[in-house]
Amino acid sequence: MKIQLVADSAANVTSQNEMGVVSAALKIVTDKTEYVDNDALDVARMVAELKAYKGKSTTACPSVQEWKEAFGDADMVFGVAITSGLSGSYNAGCIAAREYMEENPGRKAYIVDSRSTGPEMVLLLEKLHELAGAGLSFEEICTAIEEYHKHTRLYYALSSLDNLAKNGRVSPIVAKAVGLLGIRVVGTTTPEGTLHPEHKCRGEKKAMEQMLACMVASGYKGGKVRLTHSCAPEVAEKFFQLLKANWPNADITIGEDRGLCCFYAEEGSFLSAFEHE
Ligand code: X90
């Protein structure tokens, strides 16, 4: 019984991952260049080029065909997509899953709508990996992952909402208040998987304290945390230390945002996905 895990590239998972996750790439598109968010993408270079570029930039989700290519020839496929509240990726993944099952009787495919991005997608993938190794049926895994999802959440500290606003993913009014130097927005997701900015914080230290308070208020009690940063390892490291000071035994890791998350989260931002009660 071959089980394949897949995700779109908003999960920041490259082909070196230990779970065997295959990634379907989103794209970052300007008038000059198309950046494909795969292993080969030089994220730092993309960020530098985009900083110098003054024209329009946008993004595109993987097509139905690209999702299907990621499925390969597995008996069971489980996928995780960036929030359907902001992207067409989940929809494309679902069509791919339906066609995959129609074209290959006996095979099964299921896509989870993360209603989130990046590190929360990683938590879901890690749980799927665990469930896949436990000898459960397809239906049991589908039920178990949706149940687990009720106990995960994402908080973000963003240094700019410019690209989100320019691409219609948050209102320009909300975005403007964050454009000021040193202001970070700390927020989470709505049940529909859109952004819910909660606090404007002056400076990085305040943003971290706020995020910690938000996590505790959401029921974080020392479970797994998956952190990612957009070209700012020192920021993620500081937040990691803050968490470790409070929960020395917690399973916490730091990863890098790849192309899609870096484009929208922007330089200096960090994301924290965690398990809660
Ligand atoms: O289909 C596409 O073109 C992709 C559109 C994605 C838009 C949003 C990406 C957000 C990336 C920003 C901070 C966390 C937001 C939480 C989302 C619910 C990261």
User: Is ligand 1 within 6 A of the CB of residue 261?
Assistant: yes
Per-residue pLDDT, 179: 67
In tens, the pLDDT along 34-76 reads 999 999 999 999 999 999 998 999 999 999 999 999 999 999 9
What does the pLDDT look like over 157-198, one tens digit per residue? 999 898 999 999 998 888 887 766 788 999 999 999 999 999
* Rounded distance between C-alpha atoms, residue 63 and residue 126, angstroms: 24
Can you name the residues that pair with 156 across neighbouring β-strands?
187, 271
Taking the centre of ligand 1 as the mean of its atom positions, its distance from the CA of residue 75, in whole angstroms, is 30
Ligand 1 centroid from CA 186, angstroms = 15
Q: Which residues, in sequence order, are CB contacts of 139 under 8 Å at separation 6+? A: none
Q: How confident is the model at residue 223 (pLDDT cuts 50, 70, 90)?
A: very high
Mean pLDDT across the chain, nearest whole number?
A: 96
Instruction: Report CA Rg, the chain.
Output: 18
Pocket flag, ligand 1, residue 29 (CB < 6 Å): no
- From the list 148, 146, 112, the residue with the least C-alpha distance to 274 is 148
Distance CA(84)–CA(81), nearest Å, equals 8
Q: 246: Cβ–Cβ under 8 A, 6 or more apart, which residues? A: 212
CB-ligand 1 contact for 195 (6 Å cutoff): yes
Predicted local distance difference test score (pLDDT) of residue 263: 97
Q: Mutual orientation of helices 233-246 and 204-217 as an angle, nearest 10°?
A: 40
Task: Please report where in the chains the tokens 């895994």 appear, as a residue.
Answer: 141
How many Å apart are CA 48 and CA 51, to the nearest integer? 5
> Contact at 8 Å (CB) between 203 and 182?
yes
**Residue identifier of the C-alpha nearest atom 11 of ligand 1:** 261
Q: What is the pLDDT of residues 83-133, one digit of tens each?
A: 999 999 999 999 999 999 999 999 999 999 999 999 999 999 999 999 999
| In contact, 4 and 110? CB cutoff 8 Å | no
CA dist 4 and 14 (Å) reads: 15
Percent of the chain topping pLDDT 90: 91
User: Cα of 190 to ligand 1 centre, how many Å?
Assistant: 13
Which atom of ligand 1 is least distant from the CA of 82? 6
Residues 28 and 35: their CA atoms lie apart, in Å, by: 5
Strands 57-60 and 76-81: unpaired
pTM (2 decimals)? 0.97
Ligand 1 atom nearest to 83, measured from its CA: 18
Q: By alpha-carbon position, which residue is closest to atom 7 of ligand 1? A: 86
